[in-house]
Structure 1
Amino acid sequence: MPTVRTPARPVTRATSWAAGTLIRWGVHAKRLLVSAAERGAESSTDVSEHGSTPVVAYFGDQPATLYQIRQWLPVFEAVAQHRPLLVLTRDATTSRLLRQETSLPVVLAHRIDDVLAAYRQVDAKVVVYVNNGMLNFQSLIYPDALHVHVNHGESDKISMVSNQAKAYDRVVVAGRAAVERHRRALINLPDDRLAVCGRPQLDHDVDPVLPPAPAGVRTVLYAPTWSGENDANNYTSLDRYGEVIVRAVLSHPDLRLVYRPHPRVVEGTDPACARAHRTLVGMIESANRAAERHLMPFHDAPLAVFDGVDLLVTDVSSVGLDFLYLRPEAPIVLTDRRTDRERLECEAPVARGTDVVDATTVEDVAGTIRRNLDADPHRAERARLRDHYFGFERHESSTRFQELVEECITTRDALVRERDTR
């Protein structure tokens, strides 16, 4: 494995033209003023009660993307045992929800000035980002910290290697596959910007949620991703193969289906995926009227549904790679909506250790699932690929991540001293 070092709506005054309009606007303005007052109270940047807090986890998005930071909370809580850490948000609802899910202090800062003031008050030295949200760039204005991007999963999606990575001082990646992915996709990104840490999120145990399958019944998890922000980032199988995959599993009396799509599928952000999702839900509900055993744990964490699964059918996404790491003994079937096996294996090396559902193989999904359950023909190759993607045993990733945080703090302090003595 190559050594990759890790250095250094405002309230407005309406002018009405009729008494009725004045009354209506008066009620509306009162509601807006109350809402603004609530926001102002929650967004106080007086964080002095927290004292010096060298590590800040920044999350600027709304609740729809809370899953992105949620998987990092156990990691941040572990870091906080060594270095004080707080979570800084930009949305009031997000802030309230996070306070219910973590013991970490959560600070709400609406304006850019609030963000910068909070960083100054706690003397932030390392700011950690779990996504590429647009509001990240307001936080990046702060000059006295190192900015570290950790993303919210290890995936072969093209979105994992955006040029936005160049905005950060460090980019945390899982292993060799991620280093190669960045080299292949980007120009002018030095290797020393990449910090290889494995997947510290996977070091933390998650309580399983699946009940035991009936005797003699094996469990197939179908976990499709969403349709992405644009066509290049669309890896979902839902609208093309979802109905065939689900029907294939439901047709076998000795198989149990667990259907757990990406949260943005459940929210119905894409019309084609929303229609396909409703169709699958209807199929599963109909099948359960005959035999109540198929499951749809939409609101449980993906990691919580891995235990008890005998085979995973998934798309190019972090779910497949997390499963590869945590359940290397269980086969994976990957999908490819573009039906380009050469490109798929280049961009997603995990496909070299799986059967693939695409336009040429979709009619034999039932046979593909049965062969993998009975013979598991790719087991040895999956073991090699697991090392290629991750390269660490469990708990080593957490150690490496903590070491990275400490190194960044030390480097930041040295750089600030050097600057201030010039």
Structure 2
Amino acid sequence: MALRNDARRAVKLARDILRNRKAQRTVRARIAELPPLEPHKYRIGVYFADGKVNLYQLRQWYKPLAELAETHPVLILSRASGAAISLFDESPLPVAYVRRVADLERVIHEQDLHVVFYVNQNAKNFQMMRYGRRWHVFINHGESDKMYMTTNQFKAYDYALIAGDAARNRLEKVLWDYDFDKRAIPIGRPQADHYSGTLPYTPDEREVVLYAPTWEGDRGAAAYGSIASHGVALVQALLETGRHRVVYRPHPRSGVVDHEYGAANRAIIAAIAAANAADPTAQHVYDDGPDLGWQLAAADVAIVDISAMVYDRLAAGRPLLITKPVHPDAAIDTGGYLSACEWLDAGAGDAMLARVDEVAHDAEALERLGYWVERYFGDTTPGVTTQRFHAAVDHLMAEWQRFADLHADDEEIDDHDVEAEANEESDEALD
């Protein structure tokens, strides 16, 4: 078994190297086709050091950032070739490919970035954060009660844009000597103002069930994924009723660690295809597209794992079920929404189906949900959270100007770091 696993890893490594070399050639060709960036135009940078597999973290910010760019021009800084290629194709914002530290420094000197946003905690964030005279701001890629949301890494950033009271209370339990009033700015969930899009089906009398599980996790404490424990039986039961329409949106990393988890994911996709072939009017959906919005707004009931998807759906204020992890080491927060949510235990398909029907039509459960929506996001009236986001950015810009005026006579230090450039990792590690 160990020998087979080693061989599988070796083959994967060889394929990754070949793929990344091809990606390098492709991205260089794409850059040659693009006009150069207008100098000194962009005031906000969005730093993304991950490969394309984690682009979902950035995609959810496309629409809010595109709207913000109408006032404050925004530039995405991509460190990985695979991600850059996808961004060139799909991003509504301009993209700078900055594989090397030298490339990053060139863009920094050619632009006037006052604020730099970060959507994750990639270790390479520190290659950008060493540049002063700008605010480094953690905006995250979703609200949740996962361990990730209470990391002491928040302190590394000048500011953090958080969702609301629940996020602040969560952090207050962990972060010592942190100025929450200044550095943690609540904005709600700007993405919720963009929960829209073209439906890939024709609405009818069928009840739409969104099943959006996360990946299997890389350790027991984070083993929240339900595809193998709940998903196959759950989806099969929903497909067989004739009164439900399934929208299946698995995490893009599903199966990257556990081969059997990946096999369960493929089994669900195949079952959906078979159900549609048997009854084309069913219009079940396997959703692997980049856009997230219509799924959250259109579903009559959503079933998600412990992940940011819980809170993405919570912001919509509609019926919601959380799968209960089966791994004994999975860490479950007991102080927030998960202490009062509607759980879905793993079991036989008919039992899980009955639970879905119960929650989908439970008026009291929906009323209880309203309390948690307010606690996590504040006022969710359409447009309000976008206003808070823009106000936060305006505040950061004003603070930048205030400090720039105070230090106008200071000598600017050359940030160039030859050692960092010489020791930077290869692009293969990024993609």
TM range (shorter): 0.7 to 0.9
Q: Judging changes above 3 Å, is the alpha-carbon distance between structure 1 residues 73 and 307 closer, same or farther for their aligned structure 2 residues?
A: closer
Q: Is residue 142 from structure 1 mapped to residue 128 from structure 2 by the alignment?
A: no
Bigger Rg, which one: 1
TM-score between both structures, scaled by the size of structure 2:
0.80
* AA at the equivalent of 1:384: Y
Q: Is residue 95 from structure 1 mapped to residue 84 from structure 2 by the alignment?
A: yes
Q: Is residue 260 from structure 1 mapped to residue 239 from structure 2 by the alignment?
A: no
Tell me which residue corresponds to 1:218.
207
Tell me which residue corresponds to 1:368.
355
> The residue matched to 1:220 in structure 2 has which SS?
strand
Tell me which residue corresponds to 2:273.
285
Tell me which residue corresponds to 2:397.
409
Q: Is residue 164 from structure 1 mapped to residue 153 from structure 2 by the alignment?
A: yes
Q: Alignment identity in percent? A: 28
Q: Is residue 175 from structure 1 mapped to residue 164 from structure 2 by the alignment?
A: yes
Tell me the CA shift for residue 48 of structure 1.
Answer: 6.7
* AA at the equivalent of 2:308: S
Tell me which residue corresponds to 1:298.
288
Tell me which residue corresponds to 2:324.
336
Distance, in Å, in 2 between the alignment partners of 1:282 and 1:80 is: 41
* AA at the equivalent of 1:334: I
Distance, in Å, in 2 between the alignment partners of 1:58 and 1:401 is: 18
Tell me which residue corresponds to 1:248.
237
Q: Judging changes above 3 Å, is the alpha-carbon distance between structure 1 residues 65 and 305 closer, same or farther for their aligned structure 2 residues?
A: same
Distance, in Å, in 2 between the alignment partners of 1:278 and 1:72 is: 28
The answer to whether the 8 Å contact 1:126/1:146 transfers is yes
Distance, in Å, in 2 between the alignment partners of 1:203 and 1:234 is: 31
The answer to whether the 8 Å contact 2:81/2:97 transfers is yes
Q: Is residue 206 from structure 1 mapped to residue 196 from structure 2 by the alignment?
A: yes
The answer to whether the 8 Å contact 2:322/2:341 transfers is no
Query: Which residue among 322, 326, 335 is the counterpart of 2:312?
Result: 322
Tell me which residue corresponds to 1:24.
none
> Which segment drifts farther, 407-416 or 312-321?
407-416
* AA at the equivalent of 1:387: E
Match runs of 1:53-132 below 5 Å:
53-132=42-121
* AA at the equivalent of 2:299: V
> Which segment drifts farther, 288-297 or 395-404?
288-297
Query: Which residue among 364, 367, 374 is the counterpart of 1:380?
Result: 367
Tell me which residue corresponds to 1:395.
383
Tell me the CA shift for residue 279 of structure 1.
Answer: 2.2
> The residue matched to 1:274 in structure 2 has which SS?
helix
Distance, in Å, in 2 between the alignment partners of 1:40 and 1:279 is: 38
Give a deviation string over 1:275-320, Cα, whole Å, max 9, x none.
Answer: 2112222333333343232221222533222344211111112222
Tell me which residue corresponds to 1:276.
264
Distance, in Å, in 2 between the alignment partners of 1:34 and 1:348 is: 43
TM-score between both structures, scaled by the size of structure 1:
0.81
Tell me the CA shift for residue 134 of structure 1.
Answer: 2.1
Tell me which residue corresponds to 1:349.
337
Tell me which residue corresponds to 1:311.
301
> The residue matched to 2:55 in structure 1 has which SS?
helix
Tell me the CA shift for residue 418 of structure 1.
Answer: 3.2
The answer to whether the 8 Å contact 1:116/1:139 transfers is no
Tell me which residue corresponds to 1:15.
none
Number of aligned residues: 386
Q: Judging changes above 3 Å, is the alpha-carbon distance between structure 1 residues 420 and 333 closer, same or farther for their aligned structure 2 residues?
A: same
Tell me the CA shift for residue 70 of structure 1.
Answer: 1.5
Tell me the CA shift for residue 50 of structure 1.
Answer: 3.0
Distance, in Å, in 1 between the alignment partners of 2:237 and 2:23 is: 54
The answer to whether the 8 Å contact 2:23/2:82 transfers is no
Distance, in Å, in 2 between the alignment partners of 1:222 and 1:166 is: 35
Give a deviation string over 1:330-377, Cα, whole Å, max 9, x none.
Answer: 32111121588x9746254155142x1235898721221122234344
User: What RMSD, in angstroms, separates the aligned Cα atoms of the two structures?
Assistant: 3.2
Distance, in Å, in 2 between the alignment partners of 1:35 and 1:363 is: 50
Distance, in Å, in 2 between the alignment partners of 1:362 and 1:180 is: 38
* AA at the equivalent of 2:383: H
Q: Judging changes above 3 Å, is the alpha-carbon distance between structure 1 residues 113 and 275 closer, same or farther for their aligned structure 2 residues?
A: same
Give a deviation string over 1:157-180, Cα, whole Å, max 9, x none.
Answer: 221222221111111111111112
Q: Judging changes above 3 Å, is the alpha-carbon distance between structure 1 residues 352 and 35 closer, same or farther for their aligned structure 2 residues?
A: closer
Tell me the CA shift for residue 150 of structure 1.
Answer: 0.4
The answer to whether the 8 Å contact 1:75/1:200 transfers is yes
Tell me the CA shift for residue 206 of structure 1.
Answer: 2.4
Distance, in Å, in 1 between the alignment partners of 2:23 and 2:44 is: 33
* AA at the equivalent of 1:284: I
Give a deviation string over 1:6-58, Cα, whole Å, max 9, x none.
Answer: xxxxxxxxxxxxxxxxxxxxxx9xx9799579749949xx9772324221111
> The residue matched to 1:302 in structure 2 has which SS?
coil
Give a deviation string over 1:364-422, Cα, whole Å, max 9, x none.
Answer: 21221122234344011001111111012221221111122122122223334434547
> The residue matched to 1:264 in structure 2 has which SS?
coil
> The residue matched to 2:131 in structure 1 has which SS?
coil
> The residue matched to 1:172 in structure 2 has which SS?
strand
Question: For structure 2, which runs of at least 5 residues remain unmatched after alignment?
Answer: 1-16, 411-431
Distance, in Å, in 2 between the alignment partners of 1:37 and 1:396 is: 41
Tell me which residue corresponds to 1:358.
345
Q: Judging changes above 3 Å, is the alpha-carbon distance between structure 1 residues 208 and 397 closer, same or farther for their aligned structure 2 residues?
A: same
Question: For structure 1, which runs of at least 5 residues remain unmatched after alignment?
Answer: 1-27
Q: Judging changes above 3 Å, is the alpha-carbon distance between structure 1 residues 33 and 301 closer, same or farther for their aligned structure 2 residues?
A: closer
Distance, in Å, in 1 between the alignment partners of 2:252 and 2:85 is: 20
Distance, in Å, in 1 between the alignment partners of 2:271 and 2:27 is: 45
Give a deviation string over 1:124-178, Cα, whole Å, max 9, x none.
Answer: 1111111112221111111111100101111222212222211111111111111
Tell me the CA shift for residue 204 of structure 1.
Answer: 2.3
Distance, in Å, in 2 between the alignment partners of 1:52 and 1:296 is: 40
